[in-house]
Structure 1
Amino acid sequence: MMISVYRFLAYLMVLAVVFQASVIAFAVFGLRNWVIVDGGTLEGRSLRGEPAYTGQIGFLLHQKNGEIVIPLIAILLLICSFFTAVRRGVIWTAALAATVAVQIYLGTFPIGLPVLGILHGIGALAIFAFALITATRPRLIFAARHAAATRRKTTDTATFGSGSENAT
């Protein structure tokens, strides 16, 4: 049961990262279209209050998802990992949670270092990869254990036979 919750949360994290990338792309593409096609001008107050262009909501969704939803999933996944028997599950989820913490810091860092946006994008890919690895590890471990048990059973049968041919 707990493995199912663990995998669900990990896949939910994957979806949250996909959503995160989608809404920021929606916001930036909308902003680009508004400035280039519609002749809009970007000012600090343009992004506050009434939406000035289609896609502006993407900035807010990106912020709230990144500051509330993704960290919450990461914490729940880390807690869940302590109660599952997934080998190295705690390590992978701790790495995921640490990457989320760094990602939040990069996203809320004081304005003035736009080059941090590059690291923020790389961090998103790292979170996606850690979440995908975390989600697929239980299935891989189960498959490996099943294959090992099948090999043992086959080896035991080959070594000892079915028992009928050794009867005298």
Structure 2
Amino acid sequence: MKSVYRALAGLVAVGVVVQAMSIALAWFTAIKDMDDGLVIDKNTDLNFGHLAHGWIGMIAIPVIALLLLIVSFFAKIQGGVKWALFVVGLVVLQIALAFVSFGAPVVGTLHGLNAFALAGVASMAARRAASAQATAPAETPAEAAR
């Protein structure tokens, strides 16, 4: 379970990096499209980068964070539940900041800043799991079969 915890925490951190990449793709695509004559207004369809950013941020990362929290109860990592709760809390804050940012764009700066916090906390959770795996006594074949 420690390795599952570590993988899920790592996926959250990687997901944040993919989020940054997808929003960069979204806006560089939008700028290129505007340079090519596209008018962006409320009727404009979202491009791939925007769709990826929304899907990853509203579905993938929250699901992975919730799975991390569930696994944390079984992984027997010292402080594992606490760190998983930090991850879930930052994910909830991230989504709330995104919604508030549509009405108050300056809040988007906090959305970007919180992404760094989320990546850092998820990375810390993954490192703690790796450390717990390294210091755990090796299982005998009989214990592993149970």
Alignment partner of 2:87 out of 84, 96, 99: 96
CA offsets 1:19-57 (integer angstroms, 9 cap, x no match): 11111110011111222x313221111226xxxxxxx11
**1:106 alignment partner in structure 2:** 97
Please state which structure has a larger fraction of its residues in helix: 2
**1:17 alignment partner in structure 2:** 16
- Residues in 2 aligned to 1:138 and 1:26: alpha-carbon distance in whole angstroms: 33
- Residues in 2 aligned to 1:12 and 1:90: alpha-carbon distance in whole angstroms: 17
**1:30 alignment partner in structure 2:** 29
Paired residue type of 1:82: F
Identity %: 39
Paired residue type of 1:83: F
Shift in Å at residue 76 of structure 1? 0.4
Matches of residues 46-65 of structure 1 in structure 2 within 5 Å?
A: 46-47=44-45, 56-65=47-56
- Residues in 2 aligned to 1:90 and 1:135: alpha-carbon distance in whole angstroms: 12
Matches of residues 114-129 of structure 1 in structure 2 within 5 Å?
A: 114-129=105-120
Paired residue type of 1:30: T
Stretches of structure 2 lacking an aligned partner (at least 5 in a row): 138-146
CA offsets 1:84-128 (integer angstroms, 9 cap, x no match): 121111111101100000101111227320011100001111110
| TM-score normalized by the length of structure 2 | 0.86
Shift in Å at residue 139 of structure 1? 2.3
Alignment partner of 1:42 out of 29, 37, 40: 40
- Residues in 1 aligned to 2:70 and 2:93: alpha-carbon distance in whole angstroms: 19
Stretches of structure 1 lacking an aligned partner (at least 5 in a row): 49-55, 147-168
**1:160 alignment partner in structure 2:** none
Root mean square deviation of aligned Cα: 1.7
- Residues in 1 aligned to 2:133 and 2:6: alpha-carbon distance in whole angstroms: 13
Whether the 8 Å contact between 2:90 and 2:118 is mirrored in structure 1 is yes
**1:75 alignment partner in structure 2:** 66
**2:2 alignment partner in structure 1:** 3
Shift in Å at residue 15 of structure 1? 1.7
The size of the alignment, in residue pairs, is 137
**Bigger relative contact order, structure 1 or 2 (CA pairs below 8 A, ≥6 apart):** 2
- Residues in 2 aligned to 1:127 and 1:143: alpha-carbon distance in whole angstroms: 24
